[in-house]
Chain A
Amino acid sequence: MTNLQKYTKAFVEAFDVAEDALPTLVYQAVPSWDSVGHMGLMAVLEEAFGITLDIDDVIDFSSFVRGQELLRKYGVEI
């Protein structure tokens, strides 16, 4: 599984959204991406990529696209 596939799978399973909606998906755009869902996504991404996110990045993780940028800091190219 590629990093993009892992990343996409995490979003789809965490928020129950269609893949084609992901490129424009932002925090709180769907009810499931609330503060609780956000932390669930962060935990799944940490496990999927074997990383530990800094709390500042957890807060800054505001969209599907922004998340891709942030993960580069952890050596995860998507």
Chain B
Amino acid sequence: MIAYTRASTRAWSMLGSSGAFGLAAMELPELDSSVAILSADLSFFSGLDRFRAKYPERLFNIGIAEQNMVCVAAGMAKEGHKVFATTYATFASARSCDQVRVSMGYMQSDIKLVGLAAGLSVGILGPTHMSIEDLAVMRAIPNMTVVSPADCTATVKATLAAAKHKGPMYLRLTGVQNNPTVYQADFEFTIGKAIRLRDGDDIAIIATGTMVHAALEAATLLAERQIACTVIDMHTIKPLDEAAVKETLGAKLLVTIEEHNKKGGLGGAVAECLALVPRKPPQLVLGMTDEFYHGADYHYLLEKNGLTARQIAESILASYEQVLA
């Protein structure tokens, strides 16, 4: 039984989101006796060593064959299994796009595709392993649910929620080991229901994945300048919590932040949601610029994209001053 204590949330943070997923996976057979997990030769990286030791009959290493893994997952799902399939986010989304589209989305297979190391976290391995467009790919496929937890505690909650969810889902895991912690205790996590973490009348910040913690820090920096920010954890990109988005219409500036290409991700989803709303705040979209990056350290790449808390606060402040001018 998972305990949401300060020590356990800290341990999950140190493990990183893949390790947190692996720990949560230990609970899955108790929730659903049909659970099986597939790995594209990443069972250690996926934090699944303990799962393999305890449930060897439920873990299948498909090899470095991600497209095949999705098809195997679809076959198993059609035979009644609740299947979690895990691999690097970019191989889950870009490489396996057609298999996801047909064998998950079109077939409405009960598969939870876990995209490990999404965003820039394996930046050191270069552009082939960075995943900067997976949200765009996944949210454009009909029937897909797309979830991006804010931290390792939320990763545990999202994994358990995924086990109860029917239908195809993409679970996007961001961050590295020693992932900043947003949630240090148990909290209510409902797929499709955003979480308001901070209230403020001036600016509304909607963030997802690792950027939720950065958004909270940026809001603290802006508060020192007497600028009050609402911060929303939009952990579900699809279906988007449109009501939560529309609750921000009273702000003078709306900001979206994501560890993803600025095109096609959370920023786009929010803009689409508000496209026909006549009176709305201008929207500042923060994320990664539309280019491929050379291999580099995660934190360096975040800084290069202006995604540290200090840089985010500066960008928001600059836009806010323009709005007020």
Residues in A lying within 8 Å of B, measured CB to CB? 31, 34-36, 39-40, 42-44, 46-47, 55, 58
Contact = CB atoms under 8 A, between A and B. Distances in A.
Interface in B57-84: none
A40 B152 CA distance: 14
Interface string B305-324: 00000000000000000000
Contacts of A34: 49-50
A67 to B, nearest CB: 15
13 contacts: A35-B19, A35-B49, A36-B47, A36-B49, A39-B11, A39-B19, A40-B7, A42-B11, A43-B8, A43-B11, A44-B7, A47-B7, A58-B14
A43 B22 contact: no
Given A36-B47, A58-B14, 14 more contacts: A31-B53, A34-B49, A36-B15, A36-B49, A36-B50, A39-B12, A39-B14, A39-B15, A40-B7, A42-B10, A43-B14, A44-B11, A46-B7, A55-B177
A39 B10 CA distance: 8
Nearest to A59: B177
Nearest to B53: A31
A71 B131 CA distance: 38
A40 B49 contact: no
**Mostly helix, strand, loop or mixed at chain A's interface?**
helix
Contacts of A47: 6-7, 10
A47 B5 CA distance: 11
Given A34-B50, A36-B50, A43 B19 contact: no
Interface string B22-42: 110000000000000000000
B190 interface: no
Interface of B: 6-8, 10-12, 14-15, 19, 22-23, 47, 49-50, 53, 177-178
Nearest to B14: A39
A58 B7 CA distance: 15
A35 B23 CA distance: 11
Nearest to B176: A55
Contacts of A31: 53
A42 B178 CA distance: 12
A39 B6 CA distance: 13
A48 B23 CA distance: 23
Contact of B22 (A36, A40, A46, A58): A36
A40 B11 contact: yes
Nearest to A40: B11
Contacts of A40: 7-8, 11
Nearest to B6: A47
Contacts of B14: 39, 42-43, 55, 58
Given A42-B11, A43-B7, A43-B8, A36 B19 contact: yes
A46 B6 CA distance: 10
Contacts of B23: 36
Contacts of A58: 14
A34 B7 CA distance: 17
B119 to A, nearest CB: 19
A50 to B, nearest CB: 12
Of B8, B10, B49, most buried by chain A (CB within 10 Å of CB) is B10
Nearest to B22: A36
**Smallest CB-CB A-B distances: 4 pairs:** A43-B11, A43-B10, A39-B14, A43-B7
